[in-house]
Structure 1
Amino acid sequence: MHEAITALLDHGDGPGPDGWRSLWDRLEDGALDRAEVAVLLTALAVRLPDGRTLRDLVASLRERAPAVTGSWPGSVNIVGSGGGPGTFNISTAAAFVAAAMGVPVVKTGSRAYTSVAGSVDLLDRLGIGLTTSPAHTEDALERFGIAFAGQYVYPPVLTRLARSILPLSVRPFGRFFNTVGPFLPALPVTAQVTGVSRRVPLAGLRELARAVTDRTIWLCANDLGADELIGFADNTIYPNDGHEPIRLPSGTLTTGGTLDDLRPATDPGSLTAHFLDVVSGAGNETATQTVCLNAAALAVAGGHLLDWHEAMDAALDAVHSGAARALLDRVRAQRTGRTRSPAVAHG
């Protein structure tokens, strides 16, 4: 058993940066067997490491990520940690609304681990492909103001991890991948808005966020444990730049509502129709306001608007004017080509 796995199982100080590097070297050389990989992933899924160990782990993975090229000023990524109350694909809807407001959005995501459908599952149903390279992403961003980044942005070692345990599925290990996934994409975005559910240790993620210096990160949490901003909940946003948390108490920017208003469609065949209704403003008012609240956060995080009320009004206008739905239809019509989704990274 590799010493990094042993150290992880001992629940001590963890393997340290060199231990993680050695582990990934062994994996890439094909020297780790499937049993060792299964033990590693099980240990990470059952009990997430403490803050320092988690930070060392993520740093070692980021070292193996593709080189970041280009510069996309003002661009924002929205991605959640997964878990928490079951809701429809709020962050994906918010991405389209924000893009329709003029906010460049480069969204990352994954297939479902705990939900009915992850963002990539929904995009498949909509006929929207993931980008396959920096140039592909930049082209989509220039043409539509929105791009859905594919597997190329993640460290290749994650794919090797997934392949090492075949025919086992990575789905049982989703909690771990949901936790670290938002911190791994190699993208030159200006900001990232990440929802944190009750299933994920906020303190550990705040430590991870503070270690990221190439973009502003907002970690969003609320008293309902959802991994997105909820207007009828008390929300707190934790920036990674040392600024004080941003408080958005219940009812600050929206009217009331309940989690039942945000439930996903119960029939998998209705997922697309339900999503299109929300983006078109034909869903219930709570769903519309929730999507717009998250879109407003992208506008403020990216520095496009400074006032939350102004950002919320702009998001609502993007929905009710039909701009968000028109953008979605343009992206669908383009059929930029499909690619397989990231096997082991969230969104």
Structure 2
Amino acid sequence: MSMLDLDSITQESLVAKGGRKWSSFPGSIGAFIAEMDFGVAPAVRQALREIDDRDLFGYAPYDATADLKSATSTFYAGHCGWAVPAEHIELASDVIAAFIGVLTHLTPAGTPIVLPTPAYMPFFEVAQATDRELIEVPMIRSETGWAIDYEAIDAALVPGATLVLCNPHNPIGKVYGEDELLRLAEVVEANRARVFSDEIHAPLVFDPARHLPYAGLNETTAAHTTTATAASKAFNIPGLKCAQLILTNPEDRAVWARRSGFVSGAASNPGILATTAAYTQGAVWLAEITAYLKGNRDHLTDLIGTLLPNATYLPPEGTYLAWLDLRGYGLSEGLAKHFNDRAGVAVTEGRLCGQVGSGHIRLNFALPRPLLTEAVERIAQAL
């Protein structure tokens, strides 16, 4: 794979595939839903062929799930330096299903969810689905970066509450440092709360940032955390439905073993085999894609500085998502419809990411670079 190969991917070829990203808004450049336009690693394709070759359409074999848990453990150790035992890993269909399972089985009924915002849109839906109060705690933005509002989180947490930590943070792309995480842990522990750490974008971090698994910091964070991850974003396989839940508290593991068979049993055979292949054989592909995404991030930064001078934007340290503040253009609501109708670019409405999202959009920059350029040019023209 070369950068030139990715640059040559056309809008017509992407539309022809028929995926949701390019079929939901006909005629528009798909820059909303979080998936990439770059295909998958060769090892993933081979793993999916094996599904048919082995006639593996029944229930998942125990050795396949065991292989995936081992692969997840090895991948985390190599990629993040966290030696998590394979026996501490369970499966789920996706991170949101894992989160619902954690809330249902591991937290007291009725305890609130504390969510730093802007945040991934489905977290708001989870609160409704589980009848939990959701408390939004806006992140603090400065000219140099994003920061946690520790005082506000301290005020929001109560015993048994669940703080959602998204690291790298969707949609702002922040990668949290050790000092920040340790200070957050003190606040969580003081309030006898717990953390759900969504680390689905962990492999997509740009130098010099480095991903630190929150539960891997020390015994305290391990005890009050459940960690969810998946290969779906970094290896571009969200439709295969396979996530991993890392349970670092022994009591949580015991409860999960008794109550959560339906959650762990919902991972699909294609997802299990593809994820195992991605984690064990996809390193070269991942490195190439990450380098291309970093180039896209830098190119987008230049485009915004030139074409959208009234926008406020902090280049992300991880993920392939950009969070653009367009209030400088007098916009507050209806931005997604505005840009789809007038620019032919499908983006995510910022308000869906929390109250602080008014006047913002989330832009997926995991596009072929010529299409990324065209998308920003169209947005600029529509302004």
**Under a length normalisation based on structure 1, what TM-score does the superposition of the two structures give?**
0.30
**Under a length normalisation based on structure 2, what TM-score does the superposition of the two structures give?**
0.28
Q: Which has the higher strand share?
A: 2
Structure showing greater radius of gyration is 2
